[in-house]
Amino acid sequence: MRLLFFISAILLSCSSYAQRSRTVHNHIGLQGVYAMSNLQTENFNTSQGEGFLAGLSTRGAFYNDFDLIYGIDFIQIGLQVEAGGKQVEYALSGAQVKFLASYRIAGEYLSA
């Protein structure tokens, strides 16, 4: 029983050490924004609406000093449009998928 415990402890410590690397890094970012928007047109009377933008992105090492940044953002904004003498609620919904390549200038702290 002690031999099995000793072997498993050695394997676990070796596998956890093998996963540690000082040059590979991954950064995860969460973002949230309160958004105010207005539609500018001469055809309708509009009033400013409010909404939000929320997203998730990550940056990871790709090859040597090159990184990849990828993520998704969701947006939801409501507007009011006057049509026929009454206010009509209008909702704008969307998503943005981003995929960017970058080059590390100063380690993992500055990329361009």
pTM above 0.85, yes or no: no
pLDDT for 72: 92
Least confident of 4-13, 16-25, 38-47, 79-88: 16-25
Q: Is 38 helix (H, G, I), strand (E, B) or coil?
A: coil
Nearest to 61 by CA among 29, 28, 25: 25
Q: In this predicted structure, what is the pLDDT of residue 14?
A: 42
Token reading at 4: 């099995």
User: Greater confidence, 12 or 108?
Assistant: 108
Q: With bands split at pLDDT 50, 70 and 90, how would you rate the model's confidence at 15?
A: very low
Token pair for residue 81?
A: 């449009």
Kindly state the greatest CA–CA separation across the chain: 84
Higher pLDDT, 1 or 91: 91
